[in-house]
Amino acid sequence: MSVQIIYTMKKNYSILCVLLSLLFSCSKPNETQQLASTISKDSSLHIVDSMARAVIRSGFNAGSGYSQIWARDMNTFIEVACEESNPQDLRNAILLFFALQQPNNEMIDGYVLKPEFTWNDDTPYYSDAAPDHVAFKNTVETDQESSLIQIVGKYIRKTGDKSILQEVVAGKTVIERMGLMVDYLKKERFSEKYGLIYGAMTADWGDVQPNDDCGCDINELSDLAIDVYDNAMLIIALDYLQEMTDDSVKKQEWKDLRTSLAENVRKHLWDTERQKFIPHIYLDKSPIPEGFDELAIHYHGGTAVAIEAGLLSKEEIAIANKQMVENVRLSGMPSIGLTLYPTYPEGFFRGGMGTPYVYQNGGDWTWFGGRMIQQLIANGFTEEAYDEVRPMIDRVIKNQGFYEWYGKGCKPDGSGHFKGSAGVLAKSIEMFNQWADENK
């Protein structure tokens, strides 16, 4: 056989192999396409999305059992509310927060009509600009200012209504008032030593301290501490502020602060050896009992928000997610909404939260687990996100509601129609559907 014939046969064979390979790849969907198809056909996602939107259409309060409108809650359902609520009502609800901003420029947690203020609170907040309402604040936490700034940023992205920034409330525009909130944090809640903001010691993103029965207000029993959640929330808020302002000087100021905070979070709070964030830096004494290693605790919620703030690389996100999944296995809890692991010891917190896996001491909260799902999708881990959202979706359908948190044995607790849970799941489902449409 001549060399030319052999060459021609090899060439034709190679072409045939290429054609067969192309034919095979076209006839058999790849794994990404299969996942996209599975997500698109998943009726449970559509059911839960419809349920979530119905809950959010019912009003801006935090959920059943809560008459109050909270900034930290609204921040996680504002985008869905923009699609499901009367635009003017939503705008007015946002502006009322600014009417209740205090003379020292701090922002309140939330507000309620005066006749509905029925619980014991030694320090209610009032404002002449909102005479029909009374406000409240759990001062152990430092996410109120950041939450409201994020609300405004998300509202503008969804509606295009930038005019809200120039709305004058009690003599100052909304954009001015948001800048003053940042100034308040820098003046009243900023550690010069670490270059980070602080609050009182709580469990991860929680707003209950261990030292007293009420547990919600900074007092002589508080232990001032720095954590990743508060600082990540401020970093996200500063990103929104840069986007919202036309003032080049303020934009640069907020950019510089954002850069500094991010660098200091990595410097002081990131545990390189364990590849996780440490729970706290204590500014004075530590409340942790002797023999208990708080540094071993994983803070799931704060980590999810830190990912949203851009504080972890893709490789670190993958490690953090594997740690969360393993923590769920070790704890026996239902999902990565698990607040933290291991829990604080029995009796460390007062009341019911003194028991491990109750409320913020290891309870399972979709409100934060859903944020991790969103970040997994946003960072290219859609398969993992779909696997890990399943228990959250399934329990909504089983219990016919968006419960505030879940205890051992996936026992639902708290508000039965918690809008934070509904909001994060609805947004997650929207992200799943968008990803599926792009990868069919």
Q: Reduce the secondary structure of 158-173 to three states and give it as a string.
A: HHCCHHHHHCEECCEE
Burial (CB < 10 A; 0-12, 13-18, 19+), residue 165, is middle
Strand partners, 111: 69, 135
CB 222 within 8 A of CB 139: no
d(CA 401, CA 37): 27
CB 261 within 8 A of CB 280: no
CB 179 within 8 A of CB 240: no
pLDDT at 288: 98
Mean of the pLDDT values across residues 130-148? 97
Helix, strand, or coil here: 15?
helix
Residue 18: band (very low, low, confident or very high) from pLDDT cuts 50, 70, 90 = very low
**Non-local CB neighbours of 254 within 8 Å, separated by 6+ positions:** 182, 238, 241, 242, 245
pLDDT at 391: 98
- pLDDT greater than 60 at residue 161: yes
d(CA 378, CA 74): 21
- pLDDT greater than 70 at residue 187: yes
**Non-local CB neighbours of 415 within 8 Å, separated by 6+ positions:** 62, 63, 64, 65, 66, 403, 404
| DSSP letter assigned to residue 229 | H
Residue 27: band (very low, low, confident or very high) from pLDDT cuts 50, 70, 90 = very low
Residue 15: band (very low, low, confident or very high) from pLDDT cuts 50, 70, 90 = low
CB 428 within 8 A of CB 368: no
Q: How many helices (H) and strands (E) does the chain have?
A: 15, 16
Closest CA relative to residue 231, chosen from 339, 142, 320? 142
Q: Mind listing the pLDDT tens digit for each residue in 423-439?
A: 999 999 999 999 999 99
Residue type, position 1, single letter:
M
Q: Mind listing the pLDDT tens digit for each residue in 275-319?
A: 999 999 999 999 999 999 999 999 999 999 999 999 999 999 999
- pLDDT greater than 90 at residue 87: yes
> pTM to 2 decimals?
0.93
Mean of the pLDDT values across residues 132-141? 96
Copy the structure tokens of residue 41. Answer: 């056909």
Residue 29: band (very low, low, confident or very high) from pLDDT cuts 50, 70, 90 = low
Q: How many Cβ atoms sit within 10 Å of the Cβ of residue 387?
A: 12
Copy the structure tokens of residue 279. Answer: 């729970």
CB 114 within 8 A of CB 86: no
Encode burial over 168-197: b for 16+ CB neighbours within 10 A, e otherwise. ebeebebbbbbbbbbebbeeebbbeebbbb
- pLDDT greater than 60 at residue 4: no
Mean of the pLDDT values across residues 251-261? 98
Residue type, position 278, single letter:
I
Please state at what angle helix 228-244 crosses helix 300-308, rounded to 10 degrees: 20
pLDDT at 14: 52
d(CA 37, CA 31): 10
Mean of the pLDDT values across residues 401-410? 98
pLDDT at 6: 39
Mean of the pLDDT values across residues 194-202? 98
pLDDT at 5: 40
- pLDDT greater than 60 at residue 10: no
Q: What is the mean pLDDT of the chain?
A: 93
Mean of the pLDDT values across residues 164-170? 98
Place of tokens 């700034």: 149
For 56-65, 72-81, 337-346, 385-394, which range has the lowest pLDDT when averaged over its residues? 56-65
Beta strands in 30-167 (DSSP E): 69-70, 110-113, 133-136
CB 371 within 8 A of CB 301: yes
pLDDT at 63: 81
Mean of the pLDDT values across residues 247-266? 98
Copy the structure tokens of residue 341. Answer: 């692991």
All structural domains of the chain = 35-58+297-440 (no CATH), 67-294 (1.50.10.10)
Closest CA relative to residue 381, chosen from 316, 430, 426? 316
CB 84 within 8 A of CB 159: no
**Non-local CB neighbours of 20 within 8 Å, separated by 6+ positions:** none
- pLDDT greater than 90 at residue 67: no
